[in-house]
Amino acid sequence: MLKKNPIMFSLHFLALFLLFLDHANPQPHDQEQAILLRLKQHWQNPSSLDRWTPSSSSHCTWPGVACTNNSITQLLLDNKNIPGTIPPFISDLKNLEVLNFSNNSIIGKFPEVVYNFSKLEILDLSQNYFVGTIPDGIDSLSRLSYLNLCANNFTGNIPAAIGRIPELRTLYLHNNLFNGTFPAEIGKLSKLEELYMAHNGFLPSKLPSSFTQLKKLRVLWMSEANLIGEIPQMIGEMVALEHLDLSMNELTGSIPNGLFMLKNLKVLFLYKNLLSGQIPQVVEALNSIVIDLSQNNLTGTIPVDFGKLDKLSGLSLFLNQLSGEIPGSIGRLPALKEFRLFSNNLSGPIPPDLGRYSSLEGFQVASNRLTGNLPEYLCHGGSLTGVVAFDNKLGGELPKSLENCNSLLTVRISNNAFFGNIPVGLWTALNLQQLMISDNLFTGELPNEVSTSLSLLEISNNKFSGSISIEGNSWRNLVVFKASNNQFTGTIPLELTALPNLTVLLLDKNQLTGALPSDIISWKSLTTLNLSQNQLSGQIPEEIATLPHLLELDLSENQFSGQIPPQLGLLRPTYLNLSSNHLVGKIPAEYENAAYSSSFLNNPGICASRPLQYLKVCFSRPQKSSKTSIPLLALILSALITAFLLALLFAFIIIRVHWKRNHRSDSEWKFINFHRLNFTESNILSGLTESNLIGSGGSGKVYRVAANGSSVVAVKRIWNNRPLEKKLEKEFLAEVEILSTIRHLNIVKLLCCVVNDNSKLLVYEYLMNHSLDQWLHTARRSNSASASVNHVVLDWPKRLQIAVGAAQGLCYLHHDCSPPIVHRDVKSSNILLDSEFNAKIADFGLAKMLIKQEELATVSAVAGSFGYIAPGKRSLFRSYPCYLLPCPPFPVPNIEVSYFITRIAEYAQTVRVNEKTDVYSFGVVLLELTTGKAANYGDEHTGLAKWALRHMQEGKTIVDALDEEISEPCYVDEMSNVFLLGVFCTSEVPSARPHMKEVLQILHGRNHPLVYGAKNNGSEYDSTPLLKNSKRERQSESDSTLASDN
């Protein structure tokens, strides 16, 4: 039949031929599915791709896959826990327009294979572990409009080719390790709208003037990018600019006038630069929402035109040299929430309408010369969280709007001239945590009840009167109570002794009477007690000896009588003063040394069992005397004197022979003081006794010495059994001279140096709360029941305060000293704590003195302590904790997602010592603070850092690693953040560890963006904004930013 019908035959043949072709060359649809399955296999079949199976429906419906005309055009694989590399065969997906691999665990160099995607419009490789440079040829992606490479480990230069992608609108390169240059060619991207290059270590560079040609640019974020020089005057021509962040650089010169003429400008961050001159007085940027020019050298007055910015919600001008009055029109701004002008030279009154027309949240004007009253309407909007106005010349009564201001967390108005009564509602404000009103003229009585949130109450040097009456449980959370130099009368109430969290109690210089209650046994956390200059009487209760952490005790100038309880000798406080009472009897044997010789003055009935300065010797009179015993006594005495003189002569001969044998004599002590001191070398040397020994380690012994009877210092005697060569001796003294110039609130002060040929003594200020190591680990090391009973746990707010303080100290050593100082032995035992648990770094620079000159550049197993020493390994590691530094517009990942992958490591024989070794050690300290575990936790070959990393690699939650004793639900997020920061600091690759500046910014919360990754606009007076959303908001770093340690 087919032969009879050739047309039908031809049709059948054609059908068979097409069917053969179909089987011989599969459809592109099947090819793409095969490529996806190969990708899944290459990435070891992650659970996030479980639905990628051949048996399922079309691959165009698979998660993360989108198709157009049955061909893959979008591969959206963000947040899929994908490990490994991007394979070359992915280039077979010819039609890709969108490729998103953000927030995975992808390693390796930049995948040049993506250059084959000629249709690609969106490329996102952010938040991975890419390393190396961005290769040339990126301009082959000519259709690319969105490029996001943020939060990786890219290094080198940004290629000029990136400025030849004509369609590029969004470029995110921030938070990498770029250490070269960025090209001026970026200024040719005429369509560019967003440019992020912040937080990179570029070579010092000026902001290219070509950038001002970006007429469509809305966002320029170059914070901490090593910018120098002046801001180009032509920046005023960037008419589309809405957000400009050039903060934390070294920009100089004045602020261009044109900057405040930009009509679309909403956010301006120029804080922490070296800008000078006046703020431009003509302001037409009427859409401004946030202006932060703080921490510069700006002078002149605050522009009156700021009063025209009706959308302004945040104004920060603190830590400049501004003068004149605050324009009254600023007080009438309807959107103003944050007002921070502290540490300037401002004078005159505060605008009286401030808070009247807006819901003010933060008000900080401390350390100026302001006069008049506080504005009446400060809390009119009911949102005020803080009033910080200390160190001014303000006066009058407190405004009535504070009466019912339950939003208040902090009131700090010390050192002014306020008077009158404190509004009743302020005492009991629902959320009030800190009330610091010392050094004013306030009157009235203390209320029976205060806010249950109150933890810090400072009312010293006022005119408060009446009795201290405490009722109910409202005072139970009080930690610090300072009420010195008032007019309080009556007795110390029993309720005051029942406060379990109290650490500091100052009631000196009042008119208190009666006995000291024996119920003080409840003060288990107390470190400082000062009741001096009152009229207290009775015996000193022996229960004081049961206070395990009492370090300062002052009961002087009272009317205490009777004997000193022998149990008191168990305390060994750093400061003890029982002078000017009516005490009698023998002092406890533990105090019979020079350190306490001035502790008992003006007590005629007091004596000691042996001769001591200022104390008479206790003699027991014999009942009978015999005339015949006198000659015998004289004979014995003469014999003893003769024997003593013979022994003295013999010793002198031996010493003389020894001296001649060694052909030299001991050199005299040399006393080198770096401060005005009230003691001499003899005071120091006399205190170097075993009874004063408080510590011994690899670098020497530490003594607690009462230098002049009242001042207590710490003396470090460096191990040294032989004289140094002249060269090394000179280098040692040069090093000490450098260390003596350090002035910072978070660094232990070096007071003087006492040296001779054989010994080196370094004399430091003494810190009464000892070391962080003792607070974290001493009780855990002991198995005794008593240790556990007396153990006081550092709560999380204190630990975070300590972390911030220590970070500030190290940051100063690394970034603000010239030359920079590397500590080399950062550990919890070298972080000391004062009476209010402010951290101070100790032993900085000491490790360098203890090694030979030829070992200074490269040190093998010398500097550091086990568990804190940075390993000599390299690994692939993310440069930034990306949950703190999100890369918009994609969502921020959960902080408990595993960030870690298998390491590719090669061992080095030595560890290069630089500031990154300190960062590693500090990371271990952060892990100690969050987990409560010691640095050597783990097996004998690892430590806490390796344990924490392994904990993450095994997929366990961070919560499981936290210290159970303090991990309250309200603190878990913050503790998790700091735990992760500790892990990042302990990266095995030094270049992947952040600098201490970055660590401090993260602890301060400044890298947690409000707008486009900009700085947190939280209170500069909070010790850390990480606590801003917690049950407690802690005290600020104001002491470190407003005061210098002299």
Q: Which residues are catalytic?
A: 825
Strands 410-412, 170-172: parallel, antiparallel or unpaired by DSSP? Answer: unpaired
Q: Does residue 1003 sit in helix, strand or coil?
A: helix
Residues 122 and 97 sit within 8 Å (Cβ to Cβ):
yes
Question: Which DSSP state fits 236?
Answer: G
State the Cα–Cα distance between residues 778 and 781, nearest whole angstrom. 5
The C-alpha torsion from 267 through 270 and 276 to 278, rounded to 10°, is: 10
Phi/psi of residue 706, nearest 5 degrees: -85, 100
Q: Quick one: which of 867, 861, 871 has its CA closest to 936?
A: 867
CA–CA gap between residue 1015 and residue 1007 (Å, rounded): 6
Instruction: List the helix and strand counts (H, then E) for the chain.
Output: 15, 56
Radius of gyration of the chain, Cα coordinates, nearest whole angstrom: 35
Q: Show Cβ contacts of residue 268 under 8 Å, excluding neighbours closer than 6 positions.
A: 244, 259, 285, 288, 290, 291, 292, 293
Query: Residue 341 and residue 291: Cα distance in Å, rounded?
Result: 12
Q: Cα separation of 289 and 297, whole Å?
A: 23
Give the Cα separation of 651 and 670 in Å (integer).
26
Q: CA 266, CA 1010: separation in Å to the nearest integer?
A: 13
Pairing between β-strand 712-718 and β-strand 170-172 as defined by DSSP bridges? unpaired
Helical packing angle, 972-985 and 796-815, nearest 10°: 30
Q: How far is CA 627 from the centre of its chain?
A: 76
Q: Which of 16, 31, 8, 146 is nearest to 91 (CA)?
A: 31
Q: Write 619-626 long-range contacts (CB < 8 A, 24+).
A: none
Cis peptide before 819 (omega within 30 of 0): yes
The separation between CA 144 and the C-alpha centre of its own chain, rounded to angstroms, equals: 41
User: Beta strand 227-230 with 386-388: parallel, antiparallel or unpaired?
Assistant: unpaired
Contact 712, 705 (CB under 8 A): yes
Where does residue 499 rank: exposed (0-12), middle (13-18), buried (19+ CB within 10 A)? buried
What's the chain's length in residues? 1046
Give the C-alpha separation, 259 to 311, whole Å: 17
Q: Cβ(442)–Cβ(462) under 8 Å?
A: yes
Report whether 327 contacts 350 (CB < 8 A). no
* Alpha-carbon span 959 to 837, nearest angstrom: 25
Distance of CA 436 to the CA centre of its chain: 23
For the record, the structure tokens of 77 come out as 């694989």
For residue 109, say whether it is annotated as part of any ligand binding site: no
Closest CA to 539 of 511, 499, 503, 567: 567
Q: CA 814, 817, 821, 825 torsion: positive or negative?
A: negative
The strand pairing partners of 753, in sequence order, are 672, 762
d(CA 779, CA 740): 34
**Which residues make beta-bridge pairs with 673?**
752
Q: How many CB atoms lie within 10 A of CB 917?
A: 24
- Rounded to an integer, what distance in angstroms lies between the CA atom of residue 814 and that of residue 816? 6
Cis omega (within 30 of 0) on the bond before 889? Answer: yes
Binding-site residue ranges for ATP: 716
